[in-house]
């Protein structure tokens, strides 16, 4: 060790007891020249996760568990309950006759339904059926419980902004003390009031920054997405894509989580693209090959993938594919820090 190094080390050691550190030893880590995302690209295969989730169904009831979920924990983020750097995601099961009791918390949730015949969720006094492909929103602070009066397992993907809420250390939660909240609105109320291209005469926003629509039915979303093909060319970087929107401001459905659907016709390959948002992907229909910084992943129906931000990616559809995407883009945009690059020809990012 040179004399200078030793003198500096000695100096740093004297700073330590006073809770001081020299910025010049830390600066590059604080403001890296480009994003260094900790998230590992990773795929959870439905064929592997589903049997384990059903086994959990034999082990304990939904009520015992409060929420019977296998958490998608990114292998690079062990112990943090995160699928990527900023979002929580997991796969939930309820069985016929079960209820997941009513509670509420500051974190907001979205659910993408994989398998359901008679499952439903109740949000703020309104019941919404859960059908395959539906997007169901639980705004932060809203009472919610799940139930099932149909047949077979009801399985869905939950995505919550829990890690972001916890960065701010501003989380509250509360149990209602009842299995199910009182239903005060008719089924389909939020969709009728806010989701048919019309809005209430007197403006109001029942859930602050979150969309007032609880359920975006797959049938409608899918029809719209596939109808684009009749008149439009696909976006070369995204394929055919439509995002779930908050009808009150045209923004994303939730303040901290973005969600969109894309369709890649069989054989379509997207051009290199990267963006700073931390993403997740669920294959709703078909199969797709994802190339991420030279690593290839083959995904099939109901498989879930964690995609770190700012890595070059291309997607190729092995067969007609419909994909559900979620990310923290909404939060990044609100904070003014989201960036994307379309094509790796060295376009400026500033
Ligand atoms: C939650 O409330 C649900 O309501 C699912 O279904 C997953 C993960 C962490 C915290 C709250 C649900 C959750 C959760």
Q: Ligand 1 in contact with 67 (CB < 6 A)? A: yes
In this prediction, residue 334 carries a pLDDT of 97
Alpha carbon of 2 to ligand 1 centroid (Å): 54
In this prediction, residue 203 carries a pLDDT of 87
* Residues whose CB falls within 8 Å of the CB of residue 2, separated by 6 or more in sequence, listed in order: none
Please write the tens of the pLDDT for every residue from 25-80: 999 999 999 999 999 999 999 999 999 999 999 999 999 999 999 999 999 999 99
Average pLDDT value for residue range 214-228:
98
* DSSP state letter for 239: B
Question: To the nearest whole number, what is the mean pLDDT of the chain?
Answer: 97
Average pLDDT value for residue range 106-132:
98
Q: Ligand 1 in contact with 254 (CB < 6 A)? A: no
Helical ranges in the chain per DSSP H: 3-15, 27-30, 46-59, 62-65, 162-167, 189-194, 218-231, 329-334
Average pLDDT value for residue range 152-165:
98
Class of domain 35-342: mainly beta
Residue nearest to atom 6 of ligand 1 (CA): 67
Rounded distance, CA 210 to CA 253, Å?
6
Residue nearest to atom 14 of ligand 1 (CA): 67
Please write the tens of the pLDDT for every residue from 163-216: 999 999 999 999 999 999 999 999 999 999 999 999 999 989 999 999 999 999
- Between strands 69-71 and 42-44, the pairing is unpaired
Rounded distance, CA 161 to CA 100, Å?
20
* DSSP state letter for 39: P
Q: Ligand 1 in contact with 130 (CB < 6 A)? A: no
In this prediction, residue 102 carries a pLDDT of 97
């Amino acid at each position: 060790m040179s004399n200078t190094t030793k003198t500096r080390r000695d100096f740093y050691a004297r700073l330590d007891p006073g809770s001081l550190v020299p910025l010049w030893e830390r600066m590059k880590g604080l403001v890296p020249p480009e994003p260094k995302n900790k998230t590992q690209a990773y795929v959870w295969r439905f064929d592997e996760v589903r049997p384990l989730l059903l086994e959990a169904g034999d082990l304990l009831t939904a009520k015992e568990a409060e929420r019977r979920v296998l958490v998608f924990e990114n292998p690079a983020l062990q112990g943090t309950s995160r699928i990527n750097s900023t979002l929580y995601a997991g796969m939930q099961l309820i069985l016929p006759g079960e209820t997941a009791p009513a509670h509420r918390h500051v974190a907001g949730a979205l659910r993408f339904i994989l398998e359901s015949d008679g499952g439903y969720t109740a949000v703020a006094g309104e019941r919404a059926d859960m059908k395959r492909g539906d997007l169901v929103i639980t705004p932060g602070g809203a009472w919610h419980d799940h139930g099932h009066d149909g047949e077979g397992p009801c399985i869905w993907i939950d995505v919550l902004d829990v890690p972001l809420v916890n960065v701010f250390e501003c989380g509250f939660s509360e149990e209602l003390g009842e299995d199910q909240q009182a239903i005060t609105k008719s089924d389909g109320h939020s969709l009728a009031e806010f989701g048919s291209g019309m809005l209430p005469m007197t403006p109001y926003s029942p859930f602050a920054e979150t969309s007032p629509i609880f359920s975006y039915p797959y049938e409608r979303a899918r029809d719209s997405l596939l109808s684009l093909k009749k008149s439009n060319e696909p976006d070369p970087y995204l394929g055919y894509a439509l995002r779930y929107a908050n009808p009150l401001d045209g923004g994303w459905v939730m303040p901290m989580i973005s969600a969109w659907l894309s369709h890649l016709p069989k054989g379509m390959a997207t051009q290199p693209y990267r963006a700073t948002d931390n993403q997740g992907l669920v294959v709703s229909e078909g199969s797709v090959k994802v190339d991420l910084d030279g690593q290839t992943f083959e995904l099939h129906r109901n498989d879930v993938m964690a995609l770190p931000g700012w890595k070059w990616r291309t997607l190729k559809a092995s067969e007609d594919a419909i994909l559900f995407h979620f990310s923290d883009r909404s939060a990044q945009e609100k904070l003014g820090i989201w960036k994307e690059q379309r094509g790796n020809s060295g376009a400026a990012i500033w």
